[in-house]
């Protein structure tokens, strides 16, 4: 960030409105970056062909700052909490050519509006697939093996201040095993949505002895029978089969929710769906909180319709307090939307988002451009 200089963007005193600005000039295209991108920031600040206005913190860009600084910008790099709507486009004015989001999800961007205004949109698929698949498996293991209860006992202790009361009680803390055993040789994993992350998750589960893979696809997509036959042969599975929601709920031992959010998938996992699931099943959501009805899931856990849940995403996040019904459920393991949070993946996402931004600003190819139509 050596070439950057600090400039005060506003004299308003009740909030921090100081930006880092590089290469001030009227003739260069201005881009606004809604987070300090850590080591990746240098990729922007060292460029001499753009003017960069940077929110200088690695968290929450203030809306007021964004609305003020986006005036005249050609490009903007946003993250999931930064809503890209008519208000923002209005503030930006007619120069805005590209919105680049450092995320695979894009619910925060009004795509029809982008198409209408001919603003290109970049996102970051692929580069986070492996990290999210890792976390999906982690949550499946944690939720099945009672990690919420077990870990908090170690952290907080029982009445004796230790976990001595539970010293080798044979069935305390037991849960359903993810891997197959000689006495339990079949395991069905289900995927709500069977895109890149689901397939990467399946690959990780094969060494656990998984025998059956079932999944649902979007109603408008064609069944991919050749791909499924290839996966079945590659992983030596008894089945890789596209099924309806009813079978997905009834047959999955572990169910991974890995589908985009939005109107089409809102509350697909509701009370009726959860009631059909096996009592020993585990539900994992590493995609979007809105796909799962939180109240219904809390009831399902409380009334033991299912065994447990592992969530990286929750409806209404990040405002999930300790009094949230899901947080209070002992068999619900929740982490705060950290699916892609590894150094390697976040650096790859930042680099991809910057490359998309630059492509959009100069009218060249963007490595991952959304078809906003």
- Report d(CA 253, CA 282) in Å as an integer: 6
Is the torsion defined by CA of 186, 192, 193, 199 positive or negative?
negative
Q: Which is nearer to ligand O=CC(=O)O, 125 or 209 (CB)?
A: 125
Residues 6+ positions from 152 with CB-CB distance below 8 Å? none
Q: Which is nearer to ligand O=CC(=O)O, 102 or 268 (CB)?
A: 102
Question: Tokens 């891997």 map to which residue?
Answer: 179
Query: Do the strands 254-257 and 188-192 form a parallel or antiparallel pair, or are they unpaired?
Result: parallel
Q: Is 340 in the site for ligand O=CC(=O)O (CB under 6 A)?
A: yes
| Between 278 and 346, CB nearer to ligand O=CC(=O)O | 346
* Contact flags string 30-69 toward ligand O=CC(=O)O, x per CB under 6 A: ----------------------------------------
356 lies in the binding site for ligand O=CC(=O)O (CB under 6 A) = no
DSSP state of 292: B
Residues 14-33 contacting ligand O=CC(=O)O, CB under 6 A: none
Shortest Å distance, C-beta 15 to ligand O=CC(=O)O? 27
Provide the minimum distance between the beta carbon of 104 and ligand O=CC(=O)O in the complex, in angstroms, as a whole number: 4
Q: Are 311 and 136 in contact (CB under 8 A)?
A: no
Return the number of the residue (104 or 119) whose C-beta is nearest ligand O=CC(=O)O. Answer: 104
Q: Which of residues 89-118 bind ligand O=CC(=O)O (CB under 6 A)?
A: 103-105
Measure CA 369 to chain center. Answer: 18
Taking CA atoms, 79 is separated from 44, 64, 95, 132, 235, in Å, by 16, 16, 21, 17, 36
156 prior amide bond cis, ω within 30: no
Shortest Cβ 125–ligand O=CC(=O)O spacing (Å):
9
Quote the CA–CA distance of 187 and 235 in Å, as a whole number.
14
DSSP state of 266: T
Contact 5, 22 (CB under 8 A): yes
In three-state secondary structure terms, 275 is: helix
Between 22 and 124, name the residue whose CB sits nearer to ligand O=CC(=O)O: 124
CB of 161 to ligand O=CC(=O)O, least distance (A): 39
C-beta of 142: minimal distance to ligand O=CC(=O)O in Å?
Answer: 19
Whether 108 sits among the annotated catalytic residues: the reply is no
Enzyme catalytic residues? 337
Contact set with ligand O=CC(=O)O (CB under 6 A): 80, 103-105, 128, 339-340
């Amino acid at each position: 960030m050596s070439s950057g200089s600090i400039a005060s963007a506003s004299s308003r005193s009740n909030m921090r409105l100081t930006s880092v600005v590089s290469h001030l000039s009227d003739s260069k295209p201005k881009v606004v970056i809604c987070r300090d991108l850590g080591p990746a920031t240098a990729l922007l600040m060292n460029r001499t062909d753009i003017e960069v206005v940077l929110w200088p913190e690695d968290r929450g860009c203030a809306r007021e700052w964004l609305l003020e600084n986006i005036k005249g910008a050609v490009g903007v790099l946003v993250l999931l909490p930064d809503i890209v709507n008519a208000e923002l486009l209005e503030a930006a004015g007619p120069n805005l050519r590209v919105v680049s989001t450092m995320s695979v999800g894009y619910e925060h961007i009004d795509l029809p509006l982008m198409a209408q205004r001919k603003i290109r949109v970049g996102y970051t698929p692929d580069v986070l697939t492996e990290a999210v698949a890792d976390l999906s498996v982690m949550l499946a293991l944690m939720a099945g093996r009672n990690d919420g209860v077990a870990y908090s006992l170690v952290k907080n202790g029982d009445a004796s201040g230790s976990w001595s009361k539970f010293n080798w009680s044979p069935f305390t803390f037991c849960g359903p095993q993810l891997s197959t055993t000689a006495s339990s040789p079949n395991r069905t994993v289900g995927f709500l949505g069977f895109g890149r992350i689901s397939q990467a998750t399946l690959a990780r589960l094969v060494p656990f002895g998984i025998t059956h893979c079932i999944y649902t696809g979007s109603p408008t997509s064609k069944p991919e029978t050749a791909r499924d036959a290839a996966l079945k042969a590659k992983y030596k599975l008894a089945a890789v089969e596209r099924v309806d929601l009813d079978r997905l709920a009834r047959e999955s031992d572990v169910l991974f929710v890995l589908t985009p959010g939005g109107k089409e998938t809102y509350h697909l996992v509701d009370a009726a769906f959860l009631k059909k699931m096996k009592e020993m099943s585990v539900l994992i959501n590493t995609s979007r909180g809105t796909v799962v009805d939180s109240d219904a899931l809390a009831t399902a856990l409380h009334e033991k319709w299912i065994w447990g849940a592992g969530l990286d995403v929750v409806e209404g996040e990040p405002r999930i307090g300790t009094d949230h019904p899901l947080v209070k459920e002992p068999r619900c393991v929740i982490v705060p939307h950290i699916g892609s949070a590894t150094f390697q993946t976040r650096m790859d996402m930042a680099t991809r988002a910057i490359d998309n931004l630059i492509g959009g600003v100069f009218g060249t190819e963007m490595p991952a451009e959304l078809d906003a139509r």
